[in-house]
Amino acid sequence: MLPALNELATQVAALFIDENAGEPTCPIWFADSLKEPEALAQELAPRDHAWLKAIDFKPAPGNWALLPGEDGLGGVVFGRDGHDWASPLQAGSLPPVLPKGGYHFAGAAENPELAAIAWALGAYAFQHYQSNGARGERRLRLPPGVSKPDIVSIAAAIWLGRDLINTPANDLGPAELEDAARGVASHFGAKCDVITGDDLLAENFPLIHAVGRASSREPRLIDIRWGDEAAPKVTLIGKGICFDTGGLNIKPGGSMALMKKDMGGAATALSLAAMIMSAGLGLRLRVLIPTAENSISGNAFRPGDVLKSRAGLTVEVGDTDAEGRLVLADALALADAEQPESLFSFATLTGSARVALGPELPPVYSTDAALAAALTETGRRLGDPMWPMPFWQPYDMLLDSRIANVSSIYPEPFAGSVMAALFLKRFVKAATRYTHFDIYGWVPKPQPGKPHGGEPQAARAVFDHLKRTFPRA
Residue 189 CB partners (closer than 8 Å, separation 6+): 226
DSSP state of 288: E
Using CA atoms, how far apart are residues 99 and 334, in angstroms rounded to an integer? 51
DSSP one-letter code for 247 = T
Cβ neighbours of residue 219 closer than 8 Å, sequence gap 6 or more: 174, 196, 197, 200, 208, 209, 211, 212, 213, 290, 291, 292, 293, 327
For the chain, helix, strand, coil in percent to 5 are 35, 20, 40
Please name the residue ranges forming H helices in 167-316.
174-187, 199-202, 206-212, 253-256, 264-279
| Chain Cα centroid distance, residue 231 | 25
Compute CA distances 37 → 78, 155, 197, 200, 356, whole Å.
Answer: 13, 34, 64, 64, 38
Catalytic residues: 251, 325
- The whole-angstrom distance between residue 35's C-alpha and the CA centroid of its chain comes to 34
Beta strand 72-80 pairing with 64-69: antiparallel
The helix (run of H) or strand (run of E) holding residue 343 is strand 342-347
